[in-house]
Amino acid sequence: MDAIVVVGASLAGVHAAAALRRDGFVGSITVVDAQAHRPYDRPPLSKELLTGRFGPDDIGLRSAVDLDVTWRLGSAAVGLELNSSGADGAALGGRLLLDDGELAFDGLVIACGASARTLPDAGGPDAGGPDGVGVLRTLDDALALRSALDDGLSSVVVVGAGFIGLEVAASCRQRDVAVTLVEPMAAPLGRILGDDVGLALAGVHRRHGVDVRLGVGVQRVTAAAGDGSGCDVHLDDGSVVTAQRVVVGIGVVPNTDWLQGSGLTIDNGVVCDETLWAAPGVVAAGDLARWPSARFGSMLRVEHWDHAVASGEAAARRLLAGADAPAFDPVPWFWSDQYDTKVQLVGMAGADADAEVVSGSLDDDRFAVVYGRNGRLTGVLGVNRPRHVALMRARVEQGISFDDAVTAARDL
């Protein structure tokens, strides 16, 4: 293999490129990204960048510094043509079509992540909606909100109480902005952590002054009545919340449009085998890769920082090692910072999982919960309980019995 192209100069793509070099690949590596920014880290966008603790220069991806690759930043991939594969399924490469040219490759890493979902009827100026409606996925999104905060933003509606919405709500409250958080489900993160834990997190936000509205959706967003500055958010219980800005955090969509017609299987992401192999010479990693996990017995697509790093490295190894590469099947892990509350989950939880509080109380800002399924431990959540998450991680990997996990976690 002489030429490898990486699509996406973010966490998964940069770590794939770094792993290729570390593992001795001496051919050319070109890293393409639609954004013109140097590679940056996303977790601080909704935290330190909004609260003002970090500026854009503080969030560069360290692993991208001095990386021996050709950067092609500001070029979007718009199509993929794969050479027909040989009878032995060998990696024959293909051509990546860009909006400003094309690149031939022997190996391709697809790591172009996901984009924030928008409200169908909320618009934003580009969609004919009002000014002041935005999402938070990119540095430009975060800088736009930060600039509004610096200019004295006084009220915001956050639509969606997922991790990004909760973090934006927390950062805005830390800057004394009045925050209304609107979530159509009965509890924040109910599908991921269960309603009881979700309601406990809602309590954290209420104690910090957020107006949390659960079980109510957004019908539409219009320019505010009156002087027309700001937005009116019309809720489906008939109420209207007026705010200067609306931040929509209702999940993401994998960036796969440009791969239609390429021959790859696209189904809620780029579908890969258990080694992240999507087609001869093509691997996928990060937020857009979907692969079969034997550990959890299902197809997974994971949107966490740790996963982007680990899958980028595993995808690179797969390109170099060929079919001898091991299956990629780690235990997922993530964290989220809201005020002085650190939420961490190792493994999987889920609304229908067995769940037991093993430390603290859900009425408090510090507790740990053990999750299980079919009598086995599947995940551990810590809210300001990093020790529980760290010490239980190996047990999640081992998949010990749920009862033993509860006992072990209570003894910590």
**Which residues would be at the binding site for ligand FAD (CB under 6 A)?**
7-13, 32-35, 42-43, 45-46, 76-77, 111-114, 136-137, 164, 255, 258, 286-287, 303-306, 308, 334-336
CB of 222 to ligand FAD, least distance (A): 26
- Vertex 373 angle, CA 369 and 374, to 5°: 140
Place of tokens 């979902």: 117
Nearer to ligand FAD, 330 or 376 (CB): 330
Nearer to ligand FAD, 228 or 251 (CB): 251
Q: Strand 270-271 and strand 277-279: pairing? A: unpaired
Q: Under DSSP, is residue 13 helix (H, G, I), strand (E, B) or coil?
A: helix
What spatial distance separates the first Cα and last Cα of the chain, rounded to whole Å?
Answer: 50
Nearer to ligand FAD, 8 or 93 (CB): 8
In the structure encoding, which two tokens stand for residue 64, read together?
């991208």
Spatial separation of the C-alpha atoms in residues 312 and 330, rounded to whole Å: 13
CB of 323 to ligand FAD, least distance (A): 24
Nearer to ligand FAD, 342 or 410 (CB): 342
CB of 135 to ligand FAD, least distance (A): 9
Nearer to ligand FAD, 24 or 101 (CB): 101
Spatial separation of the C-alpha atoms in residues 39 and 10, rounded to whole Å: 6
- Vertex 234 angle, CA 229 and 240, to 5°: 75
Closest residue by Cα to residue 34 from 105, 140, 106: 140
CB of 75 to ligand FAD, least distance (A): 7
CB of 375 to ligand FAD, least distance (A): 28
CB of 376 to ligand FAD, least distance (A): 24
Q: Name residues whose C-beta falls within 8 Å of residue 239's C-beta, 6 or more positions apart in sequence.
A: 216
Nearer to ligand FAD, 235 or 278 (CB): 278
